[in-house]
Amino acid sequence: MEKYTEKFANKIVQLCISKYNSLKKTGKPKNEAEWTLLSCFVQEEQCSHTLKVVALGTGSKCIGSHQLPSAGDVLHDSHAEVVARRAFMLYLISEVRMAAEGHSSIFEVKDGTYYLKSGILFHFYTSHTPCGDASIFLKQEWLECVGNVLETKEEPTISPSVPIGNSDTEPPVKKRRCQGSSDFEDQITLQNTENAHVKSDDIKKMDDLEKEKTNLAVCTGDVNEVLSDTFRTGAKCVAGEAPDPKLPGSKYHITGVLRTKPGRGDPTLSLSCSDKIFKWTILGVQGALLMILLKKPVYIATIVIGRCPYSQEAMKRAIYGRFEDGLNNLNLPEGFSVQTPALVQSNIDFAHSRINIAKTASEGSKLIPTPTSIIWSDTSVHRESQEVATNGRRLGCTKKNIGTSKSWVSICRKAISCLMLDLLKDARWEPADFNQLTYSDLKYYSESYNQAWNILKSKCLSNWTVKPKHIKDFKVK
């Protein structure tokens, strides 16, 4: 497999989009004004030089803090990155099960402990820059790269008549470096002054970047004010972190702090995807429960971002740079280590992204995120068809079925912990009474993971939000 270049990134993205396209229409955007986000985990087998998608997720929604259930049966965070990661956990549990039963697997077992086989790597793709810290960077960084003009209205949208680069033409390397995305839920805002709005009808696509900048200056009257602004994120600074100044232009946001995602009119306790991905680089993507059986965490080798507004510098800052001082002093338990995955951008975009939908939507259409999330994994659960969730529950769930297994999606806490409990029983794991175990109890037995998490919190993530005790104390069975 070639080094982690744009060519490699394009191969990953093509594979992920092909898998998405192969799925049924259920859960995908229904009309010309709906958009969604896509994330995937790709497995690489170095010996055979093969790549395959093993987990996929879409979505952009989050459950508010006052709507969190106490039974563990609702998916709290349905951002594509988180959905894909939980689907990947399902895949890993399935592979451990296969190894336990003596079948072909990416894991091998020795003395009741499971090891990831050598030569197996994982790559993470997301169609957009993760929400939160990675989405905050100067607009000039992107505008200088693609030479495009965006329009802001009361509801931030991207004018469909303004092209976002030419997908059929590969730009020069110097320009490609910056192409990428701010969080599309946050969207682009050129709102520095009342008179600084660029009318799309006044701007024509030009091959020459300098002509494009000249047109922008003519329309706005002050191009410097536009270019010195930053992309915005809807994620809010958590309590204990420095707050956003919310001053004009580039001083609106502060960088380097932990943020929570916005909910549907209700603040959430879910950390931004930038923050969660950083956590994965230290603790792995397998979660606490599976670490009861694994020798080492499962890490990702690369993070591939699709074609959208992007800053390599902001991405580096978000994923590891902002915590550099704390990371230098970590004394992690055996098996855990500080990872710095390669950050690569592809020049291939996702057809159902907000930017692409904006380009083809009818004039006057209000762009809306699709309310559903697609869940797919390379397991028996999803091989026949993808699973679709809405409001954290299975699509089509009736009021009568709420609270029963018929409403669960396969990646909610309740479902995952049930699978893990069955796996632990078969492994002759002997804790206290199985029938009395709660989700919190199960997590407690993951000693190395808990130790690593406590160290990480003390050094880097002291303001990480704490979920209420009642939503973690549900009985697994």
pTM for the full predicted model: 0.83
Rounded to whole angstroms, the Cα distance separating 340 from 324 reads 11
Per-residue pLDDT of the chain (477 residues; tens, 9 = 90+): 458 999 999 999 999 999 999 999 999 999 889 999 999 999 999 999 999 999 999 999 999 888 888 888 999 999 999 999 999 999 999 999 999 999 999 999 998 899 999 999 999 999 999 999 999 998 876 665 554 433 333 333 322 222 223 232 333 333 333 333 333 333 333 222 222 233 323 323 333 333 344 344 334 445 555 557 888 888 999 999 999 999 988 889 999 999 999 876 678 999 999 999 999 999 999 999 999 999 999 999 999 999 999 999 999 999 999 999 999 989 999 999 999 999 999 999 999 999 899 988 888 889 999 999 999 999 999 988 999 999 999 998 878 888 777 889 999 999 999 999 999 888 777 665 677 889 998 998 999 999 999 999 999 999 999 988 888 888 887
> How far lies 149's CA from each of 139, 209, 267, 348, in Å?
10, 11, 32, 20
Please report the pLDDT score of residue 112 as a whole number. Answer: 86
DSSP-based three-state secondary structure for 66: helix
**Residue 59 contacts residue 372 (beta carbons within 8 Å):** yes
Amino acid type, 441:
D
Which of 81, 95, 151, 212 is the catalytic position? 81
Please report the pLDDT score of residue 229 as a whole number. Answer: 83
Strand partners, 50: 45
81 part of the active site: yes
Strands 259-260 and 236-237: antiparallel
> How far lies 371's CA from each of 168, 194, 228, 416, 451, in Å?
31, 32, 34, 23, 37
Rounded to whole angstroms, the Cα distance separating 119 from 312 reads 28
